[in-house]
Amino acid sequence: MSQTSPFFDTEFAEQFAQLLRWRRDVRHFDRRTVAEEDMRALMTCAALAPSVGNAQPWRFVRVRTPDTREALAAHVDGQSALAASHYTDQAQQDHYLSLKLHGLREAPELIAVFCDEQPEAGHGLGIATMHEMLRYSCVLAIHNLWLAARLRGIGLGWVSIVDPPAVHALLDVPATWSLIALLCIGYPADISDTPELEQRGWQQREPWTDRVFER
């Protein structure tokens, strides 16, 4: 039996565009708890992401142990200090050090996202020449989760200043899993439709037309 495709009207399209504009990488969180019902909703939306071969390779590890959370935060602090030392210009190094780059200690929810590089699901379809498609599928799941969070007024911060093997060891996950993201989830301490890195003068958003080419 054929199904009727849903109709998304102009109002919905405008609201969707607004949702995309208001999706922010959040680093400042308040201490409010995120309801378990909302966390389940975010995971449900994440699982609706497309994946190569329908392999669904994403693996979400919720960090619930305080000692593990602190170990991750301390690790990121160390990696951030190391990254700062790579800037030879003192002004830029100072600017970097002034940025708040994670909310690992404040966010009520912390999730590490891994990619199962050898999933049973999918039967290897679509990855013979581009195995990285499994990881791209995980990124799409994260984006689904990000939008679903923002829709509920919940913020998400993607922490990337990490040494993946160290995080892998801290969380004791299978050897076939590769780290994709460390996510801080919670209610933003403040809201804005302008990315914090733009507000802080680090990098402005450039025209999308500069990123489109024809051949």
In tens digits, what is the pLDDT along the chain, a chain of 215 residues? 678 889 999 999 999 999 999 999 999 999 899 999 999 999 999 999 999 999 999 999 999 999 999 999 999 999 999 988 889 889 898 888 888 889 999 999 999 999 999 999 999 999 999 999 999 999 999 999 999 999 999 999 999 999 999 999 999 999 999 999 999 999 999 888 888 888 888 899 999 999 999 99
User: Which pLDDT score, from 0 to 100, does residue 12 have?
Assistant: 94
Q: Give the pTM.
A: 0.93
User: Which pLDDT score, from 0 to 100, does residue 101 have?
Assistant: 86
Q: Is 88 helix (H, G, I), strand (E, B) or coil?
A: coil
Q: Is 120 exposed, middle or buried (0-12, 13-18, 19+ CB in 10 A)?
A: exposed
**Domains located in the chain, CATH noted:** 24-194 (3.40.109.10)
Closest CA to 100 of 142, 161, 147: 161
- Note the Cα 129 to chain centre separation in Å: 26
User: Which pLDDT score, from 0 to 100, does residue 1 have?
Assistant: 62
User: What would the two tokens of residue 125 be?
Assistant: 């379809």
User: Which pLDDT score, from 0 to 100, does residue 70 have?
Assistant: 97
User: Which pLDDT score, from 0 to 100, does residue 130 have?
Assistant: 96
